[in-house]
Amino acid sequence: MNLTTLTAPPRPTYDDLPHLMSLMTGDEKHSAAATSTLDVLWVLYDRVLRVGPDSIDDPQRDRFYLSKGHGPMAYYATLAAKGFIPVDWLAGWGTFESPLGYHPDRVLVPGVEISSGSLGHGLPLAVGTAFGLRAQGLASRVVVLVGDAELDEGSNHEAVELAGAMSLGNLTVVVVDNASSTYNRRGIIPGRFAHEGWHAVTVDGRDHDALERALTRRPDGRPGVVVAEVESK
Amino acid sequence: MARDPRQRFAQTAADLVEEDLSVALVYAEISGQFFGDVESRHPDRVVNVGIREQLLVNVGAGLALSGMRPIVHTFGSFLVERAFEQVKLGFGHQDVGGVLVGSGGSFDIASGGRTHQSPGDVALMGTLPGWTLHVPGHADEVEAALRQSVAGDGRAYLRVVSQQNARAFPVRPGHFHVVRRGAGPTVLAVGPMLDPVLEALAGLDVTVLYANVVRPFDSGTLRAVLGSPEVVLVEPYLAGTSSRFVSDALSDVPHRLLALGVRNEELRRYGSPSQHIAAHGLDAAGIRASVDRFLAGPVGGAA
């Protein structure tokens, strides 16, 4: 299937994502861990972010940084569904000839904004990009997806403190919380961000309307965090 | 303009922020005493991240991702050693450009001890592909290297230290300068090691090359000037950092190599930069003694 041809089939929907993922996993049924990010990703690309396959180099585009680069099947499936990458890239992912690795590489994959895999880099990078967009007078925003366990990395806390102090209102963090951090307790994440001056909200990470409301940009000048709770790992 | 290399860096960085809207300066408290004016004039493009070096480097990389040209600065120890993975992934793996400026080097903060010394910075940066590594030996070279680097779109590291030579040379990446020609050994002096080398080897029939950019390594000039097949490297950071480049350049030439630089063992002394330079054998007397032993011949392996 080639989505770029004029005779392309109807645009894939959320319901097509399990099939797209199965092209990578070989299995139509996926564990909660494999799909923890799926609904957040779909809502971002379907309803929130101002970016598409034709605007991946547009300075005005919104940026999405997948900081938690582990388990990127849902990400690749969403990018394929939205036409950033051909569906026929999905099979054979992780092989020597494939541009799709177990951690994404922005140099290899159209629409992938950062290369990730080592945890704790995406949010600090996003803080820099938020500064850069602001300095250039661009109205774009940066949305970063991190995992709850990824917040173990101290580099995130450097970023949370500075973003709060500098009122980076064009920065949003979405924490996909599947309670996978060894020492984390459910419910403590929003307070950490709020303490540093962020707007913080917790939503059901499977509820698309709730995710859309939470992820839509607010104009109050503060960075925002959306904790999207999903099933425990 | 400031005669002190670090102050010249700060002046030039501030000028570049004034001159070019795409330039951003990111620092982490260090050298803040020099940046007050430009930060108050351009708070959007001059950012002090506080005492947060991991963030420092990735904020620079994130600025580059947004299309800006970042200058990222703190002491070399915190910039390269503490935040090395951020350098590796934030810039190289993301494939974005930027200019990192580390001050302090191996000896500037001698009285501060090991925590504030980075003799391994160039060796570490040398493990990463695609970086131009500047080791300026004069304040004028600092300014030239910074202006050139910021004007480009690649990745550059500038090692800014207080020790400097009497004379500045042009900054041309991939090009070593021929300072003296002789029939005997070839001595490659890097950055501020040039003046001590010239003093040490006065009267010897040697060729002296000068490098204020060590990566890319100018193998062609080394081969072109080679007289007797003996090479002496004198580097102001970890001894042997550039040895493999000499070996590669002369892989088809039987040769001997003496690699001088900062010794790997911790000195565990305070005191002054000049005392540390002497302790590592990098003053004129120390260099002369090492070269004399080396030229006395390989027999016995004393060198």
Q: For residues B66 and B72, what is the distance between their CA atoms, to the nearest angstrom?
A: 15
Q: For residues B118 and B76, what is the distance between their CA atoms, to the nearest angstrom?
A: 6
pLDDT in tens, A82-132: 999 999 999 999 999 999 999 999 999 999 999 999 999 999 999 999 999
Q: Which amino acid is at B282?
A: L
pLDDT at A5 over 70: no
Q: Residues A142-164: what's their mean pLDDT?
A: 97
Q: Which CATH fold topology does A16-229 show? A: Rossmann fold (3.40.50)
Give the number of beta-carbon pairs within 8 Å between A and B: 100
Output the pLDDT for position B286.
98
Q: What is the pTM of this model?
A: 0.96
The alpha carbon dihedral of B204, B207, B213, B219 has a sign of negative
Q: B146-175 burial, b if ≥16 CB within 10 A, otherwise e? A: bbbbbeeeebbbbbbbbbbbeebbebebee
What are the boundaries of each domain within chain B? 5-160, 177-295
Q: Which amino acid is at B215?
A: R
Nearest to residue B282, comparing CAs of B254, B253, B261, B252?
B261
Cα of A172 to nearest chain B Cα, Å: 15
Task: Please indicate whether the domains covering B5-160 and B177-295 agree at the CATH topology level.
Answer: yes
**Is B69:B20 a contact under the CB 8 Å cutoff?**
yes
**CA closest to B54 among chain A residues:** A155
Which residues from A are below 8 Å from B84, CB to CB?
A: none
A66 touches chain B (CB under 8 A): no
Per the CB < 8 Å rule, is B86 touching A121? yes
Q: What is the mean pLDDT of chain B?
A: 97
pLDDT at B205 over 90: yes
Cα of A169 to nearest chain B Cα, Å: 14
- CATH pick for B5-160 out of 1.20.120.1770, 3.40.50.970, 3.90.700.10, 3.50.50.60: 3.40.50.970
**Is B121:B83 a contact under the CB 8 Å cutoff?**
no
Output the pLDDT for position A3.
52
pLDDT in tens, A197-215: 999 999 999 999 999 999 9
**Tokens for B251?**
């892989």
A167 touches chain B (CB under 8 A): no
**Tokens for B91?**
């810039």
Per the CB < 8 Å rule, is B50 touching A159? no
Cα of A138 to nearest chain B Cα, Å: 10
Q: Residues A35-52: what's their mean pLDDT?
A: 97
Which residues of B lie inside 8 Å of A (Cβ-Cβ)? 24, 26, 44-45, 47, 49-50, 52, 54-55, 58-68, 70, 85-86, 89-90, 93-95
Interface of A with B in 171-230 (CB under 8 A): none
Output the pLDDT for position A26.
80
Q: How far from A227 is each of A27, A68, A214, CA to CA, in Å?
A: 29, 14, 9
Angle between helices A17-25 and A73-81 (to 10 degrees): 130
What are the boundaries of each domain within chain A? 16-229
pLDDT at B29 over 50: yes
Say if residue B302 is exposed, middle or buried (CB neighbours under 10 Å; 0-12, 13-18, 19+). Answer: exposed
ipTM score of the complex? 0.95
Looking at the domain covering B177-295, what would its CATH class be? Answer: alpha beta
